[in-house]
Structure 1
Amino acid sequence: MYTVLVSGLLFGLASGAAVKRGGGYGYHKSLNVQVGVRPYYLVDDMDEGRLKHALQRCSEGPFKPSDFVIAHRGAPLQFPEHTLESYTAARRQGAGIIECDVAFTKDKKLVCRHDQCDLHTTTDILKHPELAAKCTTPFTPASGTSPATVQCCTSDITQAEFKSLCGKMDGFNPNGTTVEEYMDGTPYFRTDLYSTCGTVQTHDEYIDLVNGWGLKFTPELKTPKVEMPFDGYTQEQYAQDMINAYKKRGISPKRVFPQSFLPDDIFYWIDKEPAFGKQAVYLDERVDTPEGYENATASIPALARRGVKILAPAFFALTKVDANGKIVPSEYAIAAKKARMDIIGWSFERSGWLSIDGGGYYYDYVKEVINNDGDMYTVLDVLAQQVKIKGMFSDWPATLTYYANCFGL
Structure 2
Amino acid sequence: MRYSIVMALAAGIPLTGHAQEGDTSGAAMSYGQRPAYLVDKMPDGTLKDELSACMGQTPQRTAFSIGHRGAPLMFPEHTVQSNRAAARQGAGILECDVTFTQDKQLVCRHAQNDLHTTTNILTTDLAQACTAPFTPAQGEEKASAECRTSDITLEQFRSLTPKMDASDADAATAEEYQGGGVPWRTTLYSDGATLMTHAESIALFDSLGADFTPELKAPSVEMPFDGYTQEDYAQALIDEYKDAGIDPARVWAQSFDLADLRYWIENEPEFGKQAVYLMDEYDDETYDPNDPATWPDTMAELKEMGVNYIAPPMWMLVTLGEDGKIVPNALAKAAAEADVKIITWTLERSGPLAGGGGWYYQSIADAIDSDADTYELLDVLAQDVGVEGVFSDWPATVTFYANCKGL
Q: TM-score, normalised by structure 2?
A: 0.92
Could you list the per-position Cα deviations for residues 48-104 of structure 1 after superposition, in whole angstroms to 9, with x for gaps in the alignment?
111111100000111111000010000000000000110110011000000000000
> Paired residue for 1:75?
71
> Paired residue for 1:197?
192
Q: Tell me, yes or no, if structure 1 residue 330 matches structure 2 residue 326.
A: no
Q: Secondary structure at the match of 1:174?
A: coil
> Paired residue for 2:350?
351
Q: How does 1:77-116 map to 2 (within 5 A)?
A: 77-116=73-112
**Structure 2 CA distance for aligned equivalents of residues 213 and 37 of structure 1:** 22
Once the two structures are TM-superposed, the CA of residue 214 in structure 1 deviates from its matched residue by 2.5
- The code of the aligned residue for 2:48 comes to K
Once the two structures are TM-superposed, the CA of residue 297 in structure 1 deviates from its matched residue by 7.5
2:213 paired residue among 205, 212, 218: 218
Does the 8 Å contact 1:311/1:341 carry over to 2?
A: yes
Q: Secondary structure at the match of 2:287?
A: helix
> Paired residue for 1:316?
315
- The code of the aligned residue for 2:145 comes to V
Q: Tell me, yes or no, if structure 1 residue 33 matches structure 2 residue 33.
A: no
Q: Secondary structure at the match of 2:357?
A: helix
Q: How does 1:16-55 map to 2 (within 5 A)?
A: 27-28=25-26, 32-55=28-51
Once the two structures are TM-superposed, the CA of residue 188 in structure 1 deviates from its matched residue by 2.0
**Structure 2 CA distance for aligned equivalents of residues 213 and 375 of structure 1:** 31
Once the two structures are TM-superposed, the CA of residue 176 in structure 1 deviates from its matched residue by 0.3
Q: Secondary structure at the match of 1:167?
A: coil
**Structure 2 CA distance for aligned equivalents of residues 88 and 172 of structure 1:** 25
1:270 paired residue among 258, 265, 268: 265
Does the 8 Å contact 2:25/2:88 carry over to 1?
A: no
**Structure 2 CA distance for aligned equivalents of residues 139 and 288 of structure 1:** 29
**Structure 1 CA distance for aligned equivalents of residues 46 and 128 of structure 2:** 58
Q: Secondary structure at the match of 1:246?
A: helix
- The code of the aligned residue for 2:185 comes to R
**Structure 2 CA distance for aligned equivalents of residues 227 and 289 of structure 1:** 22
Could you list the per-position Cα deviations for residues 329-383 of structure 1 after superposition, in whole angstroms to 9, with x for gaps in the alignment?
0100001111001000001100111102x10111111111221101010000000
Q: How does 1:5-404 map to 2 (within 5 A)?
A: 27-28=25-26, 32-128=28-124, 130-288=125-283, 291-293=286-288, 294=291, 295-296=294-295, 299-356=298-355, 358-404=356-402
- The code of the aligned residue for 1:54 comes to E
**Structure 1 CA distance for aligned equivalents of residues 77 and 34 of structure 2:** 19
**Length, aligned pairs only:** 382
Q: Secondary structure at the match of 1:132?
A: helix
Q: CA RMSD in A?
A: 1.4
- The code of the aligned residue for 1:332 comes to L
**Structure 1 CA distance for aligned equivalents of residues 34 and 284 of structure 2:** 32
> Paired residue for 2:19?
none
Could you list the per-position Cα deviations for residues 36-59 of structure 1 after superposition, in whole angstroms to 9, with x for gaps in the alignment?
001111111111111111100000
Residues 403, 136 of structure 1: CA spacing in aligned structure 2 closer, same or farther, 3 A cutoff? same
Does the 8 Å contact 1:72/1:393 carry over to 2?
A: yes
**Structure 2 CA distance for aligned equivalents of residues 214 and 204 of structure 1:** 16
Once the two structures are TM-superposed, the CA of residue 291 in structure 1 deviates from its matched residue by 2.1
Residues 323, 298 of structure 1: CA spacing in aligned structure 2 closer, same or farther, 3 A cutoff? farther
**Structure 2 CA distance for aligned equivalents of residues 399 and 141 of structure 1:** 39
Once the two structures are TM-superposed, the CA of residue 314 in structure 1 deviates from its matched residue by 0.5
Once the two structures are TM-superposed, the CA of residue 300 in structure 1 deviates from its matched residue by 1.6
Once the two structures are TM-superposed, the CA of residue 207 in structure 1 deviates from its matched residue by 0.5
**Structure 1 CA distance for aligned equivalents of residues 30 and 350 of structure 2:** 23
Q: Which has the larger radius of gyration?
A: 1
Could you list the per-position Cα deviations for residues 378-400 of structure 1 after superposition, in whole angstroms to 9, with x for gaps in the alignment?
00000000001000000000000
Does the 8 Å contact 1:168/1:197 carry over to 2?
A: no
**Structure 1 CA distance for aligned equivalents of residues 207 and 353 of structure 2:** 37
Residue ranges of structure 1 left out of the alignment (5+ in a row): 1-21
**Structure 1 CA distance for aligned equivalents of residues 287 and 152 of structure 2:** 36
Q: Secondary structure at the match of 1:111?
A: strand
Regions of 4+ moved over 4 Å = none
Residues 271, 200 of structure 1: CA spacing in aligned structure 2 closer, same or farther, 3 A cutoff? same
Q: Secondary structure at the match of 1:268?
A: helix
- The code of the aligned residue for 1:323 comes to E
**Structure 2 CA distance for aligned equivalents of residues 234 and 285 of structure 1:** 23
Once the two structures are TM-superposed, the CA of residue 189 in structure 1 deviates from its matched residue by 1.5
Q: Secondary structure at the match of 1:265?
A: helix
Could you list the per-position Cα deviations for residues 268-315 of structure 1 after superposition, in whole angstroms to 9, with x for gaps in the alignment?
000000000000000001035562234338522111101000000001
Moved more, 45-54 or 280-289: 280-289
Could you list the per-position Cα deviations for residues 103-158 of structure 1 after superposition, in whole angstroms to 9, with x for gaps in the alignment?
00000000000000000000111121x21100000111111111112100000000
Q: Secondary structure at the match of 1:97?
A: strand
- The code of the aligned residue for 1:193 comes to L
Q: Secondary structure at the match of 1:328?
A: strand
**Structure 2 CA distance for aligned equivalents of residues 349 and 248 of structure 1:** 34
**Structure 2 CA distance for aligned equivalents of residues 402 and 229 of structure 1:** 44
Moved more, 51-60 or 285-294: 285-294
Does the 8 Å contact 2:25/2:207 carry over to 1?
A: no
Does the 8 Å contact 2:214/2:254 carry over to 1?
A: yes
**Structure 2 CA distance for aligned equivalents of residues 242 and 112 of structure 1:** 11
